[in-house]
Amino acid sequence: MDKFVRKAQVLRNKYTKEASFEIEAQGNWSLYAGHAVARINYGTPILSGNGSGIYHLSVSTSIRIYFDLVSEDGEHLILSERHLPMSGGYNFRDLGGLKTKEGRTVKWGTLFRADELSNLTIEDVKYLSSIPITSVIDFRAQNEARRSPDRLPNNVHFTYPIAITPGNLSSEGIQANMLKTNIDAHMKHMNRLLVSDPACVRAFRIFFAIVQNNLSAPLIFHCSAGKDRAGMAAALVLFSLGVDEETVMEDYLSSKKYLSDKYDAFIAKYPRAESIFTVKRMFLQAGINQMKRDHGSIMNFLTNELKVDIVKMRKLYLD
């Protein structure tokens, strides 16, 4: 499929939830759709084409849809929107579709990373209920969660508060951190703490115990911005699944784009605070380097410190 398709993505408008399909390819192709990967209807394609283009998709705006792009040679590529259309959220993403070093693919619709869920609209919650989400893991501190409680679909069965607060990531802590003279250094230090502070390591060990439970997925893990605590959690999950370091970094850096609407006005007013409200390669790299320095490799950290069952993770979350 890589030779046939250079790029293929499904996009949703976060307010209208209208869907579109963008493709850069050679040759004929057909796009099929269904309410789940296992329920894609191959009777009639919802779209057919030749080569590249951007197309409107006539699909439901209230439920999530999965797609299979089929080349004229019979090659398949499963797709859905990576960035979920949450009008009350910003950084809500599916880890599905990312490739591992062995050529396998992270399953769509099972692992979601997000920012705060307190401002989700009725339409957002309805959309999430169509997945449906089973578990929600909240990395925010207790005072953050009390001040802005999650708005969740009724079909969420399990909620897990796992507070992770290195470098004081609460709103009060952010205000204090804005006064620091070198905020970049502070953010790098915070990412090192995420993988070295005993309380953080214990929290991520609990996180993986939940993720490895057969009954947990589909699941959301989130913090307030979805970039630091959730960002490190996503990186650790992807590393456990065999995704290469550069792809992990690209996923991490995507938060900059998705959070721009949320924080750009504030950053324009307080430019010195930009590093607190964005992501930079050096931040996550500091945590990656810490794991390698302390444990020899990221895999050693995952298996020895976080007790990750690599075989089980890949069985649960890879196609």
Query: Is residue 104 located within the same domain as residue 89?
Result: yes
Task: Please tell me the total count of domains within the chain.
Answer: 2
Averaged over 9-30, what is the pLDDT? 95
Averaged over 201-230, what is the pLDDT? 96
Residue 263: pLDDT above 90?
Answer: no
Structural domain harbouring 1: 1-81
Averaged over 8-35, what is the pLDDT? 95
Query: Residue 162 and residue 41: Cα distance in Å, rounded?
Result: 39
Query: Is residue 168 located within the same domain as residue 287?
Result: yes
Query: Residue 159 and residue 149: Cα distance in Å, rounded?
Result: 12
Query: Is residue 160 located within the same domain as residue 291?
Result: yes
Q: Write down the pLDDT at residue 103.
A: 93
Residue 212: pLDDT above 80?
Answer: yes
DSSP character at residue 161: E
Of 81, 96, 129, the residue that ends a domain is 81
3-state secondary structure of 288: helix
Q: Identify which of 298, 270, 272 has the alpha carbon closest to the alpha carbon of residue 284.
A: 298
**Average per-residue pLDDT in the chain?**
93
3-state secondary structure of 187: helix
Of 56, 81, 106, the residue that ends a domain is 81
Q: What is the CATH number of the domain that holds 42?
A: 2.60.40.10
Residue 261's pLDDT band, with cuts at 50, 70 and 90, is confident
Q: Identify which of 11, 49, 57 has the alpha carbon closest to the alpha carbon of residue 30.
A: 49
Query: Is residue 133 located within the same domain as residue 146?
Result: yes
Residue 14: pLDDT above 80?
Answer: yes
Q: What is the CATH number of the domain that holds 134?
A: 3.90.190.10
Residue 177: pLDDT above 60?
Answer: no
Of 59, 81, 103, the residue that ends a domain is 81
Query: Is residue 158 located within the same domain as residue 194?
Result: yes
Q: Write down the pLDDT at residue 173.
A: 52
Angle at alpha carbon of residue 5, lines to 219 and 316, rounded to 5°:
25
Q: Write down the pLDDT at residue 181.
A: 64
Q: Write down the pLDDT at residue 180.
A: 57
Query: Is residue 50 located within the same domain as residue 89?
Result: no
Q: Write down the pLDDT at residue 240.
A: 98
